[in-house]
Amino acid sequence: MSAAHEQPLGIDELLERTRETYERIEARAAYEAARDDKALLVDIRYAALRDRDGLIPGALVIERNELEWRLDPQGSHRAPEATDHDLRVVVTCNEGYASTLAAASLHRLGLHRATDLVGGFQSWKAAGLPVTS
């Protein structure tokens, strides 16, 4: 079967396959890594969710549609935190779905240590980790 006639993947299978390519991180481990300056937490949730649920203290807020431009160490629009390709980035969305695809996109940019937060912001909050309004 040629590539033009392959059966398309559904989103659930795409997520499963993508998650097999790197190790995801749980909320407590992400908190400890960020606290110890061993990871940059990046919140990609849109403003309405941040307003509703609060923020992770110290997380860099970059909405999903700007993520690659802001974290590419070679990019002209990079954030000051995007220092090099060895940066350990922990992408956080609301529930841990969009962040999987975002982390995979960062891998394609050479950020080989990028990962995402299992369960997203909601798992962080449920674990009783710090949240500000």
Task: Give the residues of the chain that fall short of pLDDT 70.
Answer: 1-4
What pLDDT is attached to residue 7? 87
pTM more than 0.85:
yes
Check: CB of residue 77 under 8 Å from CB of residue 69.
yes
Query: Environment class of residue 100 by beta-carbon count within 10 Å: exposed (0-12), middle (13-18) or buried (19+)?
Result: buried
What pLDDT is attached to residue 6? 83
Amino acid at 61: V
Q: Could you read off the pLDDT of 9-36 as tens digits, one per residue? A: 899 999 999 999 999 999 999 999 999 9
What pLDDT is attached to residue 123? 98
Mean pLDDT of the chain: 95
